[in-house]
Chains A and B, each alone.
Chain A
Amino acid sequence: MSGAVAGVWGLPLALVGGALRVSTPYLFVSLGECLTEKSGRVNLGQEGTLIMGAMTAYGVSYLSGSPWLGVLAAGWVGVLFGALHAWLCTLPRVNDIAVGIALMLLGIGTAFFLGKPLIQPRAARLSAFELGAWSDSAPVRAALEVTPLFLLGIAAAFAMRFFFERSRWGLVVRVVGEDADAARALGYPVGRVRFAATAAGGFLAGVGGSFLSLYYPGSWSEGLSSGQGLMAVALVIFARWDPVRCLWASLLFGGAGAVGPALQSIGILGGYHLYAMAPYVLTFVIMIITSSARRTLAGQPAELTVAR
């Protein structure tokens, strides 16, 4: 019975399972970036934050034995990087895109430097909920294993939409991102709002990184992240700066990222590098389709430099 299920449904199951697994870092980074961009800044350094978060989480989990302490530590390292980005951007004539590139390189370099001793040891990993426990099929159970982190991410997406649409502070962030002068005229501290939004965005990206090292793939190595942090930035554009749409987009990207491993799991090994390109190609194509030379995108914060 279970063999037959895996035979017919093997590929779609592997894709769904992959989407549920691979999407979590996209989800956290895109939510963080969404928050940052809503305040009118772009943080391309999220890629560096993601990798720093992954390294920190693994190190803290290894030393303390508690993976959740690792997740928290990763978040706070993200705050540190977000705060650094936000502070550098308050200096006159400092461009947020360039600072993002610099922080990306610094984050990757620092993570590899500090993470060197962490490549060998095994740290405590995050445990998973078995949503597929009702099934007697092993592939179904494997596909439906999700971390609490993923469920937290879903909750965060809806909470953030509520925050933007229904809360006073969410409105303040949006005003700052739409028209800094108007926000200033209303008496809101533009600089401080952006600082807070970028730091909080860094927290989420750091947590996303902890997922990489503590759950899937579940160990620290220098090849852990390959542009997920960056794709998440493009994903926010695709999601039109809406947190819940970030969730759907993350699942889509996760599915694309799962194509290679899914095909491998059913025995198709050739062209691995081509399948691995799927998320990048998907992002690229989506960017081309959704961009326009003539109009600004619906939902785009007007202060954003990403689409000058």
Chain B
Amino acid sequence: MFIRPMFRLVKDGTRINFMNGRFAGLIVSAILSTASIVLFFTPGLTLGIDFKGGIVIEARTPEPADIAKIRTAIAAQGVREAGVQRFGEVNSVAIRLDAPPTEAATQQLVGRVRAALEAAQPGTRLVRTDAVGASVSSELFHDGMMALGLSLLMILVYIWFRFEWQFAVGAVVTLVLDLTKAIGFLVLTHLEFDLVMVGAILTILGYSTNDKVVVYDRMRENLRKYKSMPLRELIDLSINETLNRTLGTSMTVFLASLPLALFGGTSLSAFAWCMLFGIVVGTSSSIFIAAPILLFLGEHRLRRDAVAPEAAKPVKQ
């Protein structure tokens, strides 16, 4: 362990015919993504208050919290839908309220709930208050989506610039598929979609792109190196050659995110779970989605020069 490596993830000279599974990969991916899109519309994402607007209060009561009493006290403030939950310890309560239509009303509501809590259980302290008005939340949502969209665009432009267009299309189609799956994951797990989650999704996209770029890089190199190898074989070779790196990096990012998911605290663990899912999706999509797309798009075009030697082969024999 100090001088020589002790393990290898994949044995040297491994040659798995990934492209045999190209249809299976694409079909599974298409099914998952379609299901995710359906989930996105019903039941839809659990929006955090950043994007939905509303009030989240975390309070600590001097004695064990009397949930029923607190619920009645808050209901007395004329709130339509209030979520009151115990939060971790016995004297900790989380209260969630929908945003009233105007910003001023939101602020008044915070004040009233504060007073109601104090009246219900004197000595209660609000350890966290987040109140986001309706108009601000829609702006935050707009900005978040803008950041996501522009990042995708930048990635497309960059890859287009550095590789041939088939690579760029392959990468961006794969990223969009990854993105939909991440959204499906968020819907299923009820993890809140908020600003931090946009950061997580962007990181997943960045990571996934990174993975694709490494495999693409090898393909480009092999395209120059093996002038006459059929594209399908070449793609398989490139994936196999970079497999140790692909899986290795996934492992390190996975290992770095795991402690965060397990004991990073409420908001960071949601972020980290999303990351962990994204790592698995991003790694597998490099192999099973991005590569087959490239194979379909590039079958004839990327191998234009190769056609001649191949046609010439039988003559030589």
Partners in one complex: no
Query: What is A's interface to B at a CB cutoff of 8 Å?
Result: none
Query: What is B's interface to A at a CB cutoff of 8 Å?
Result: none
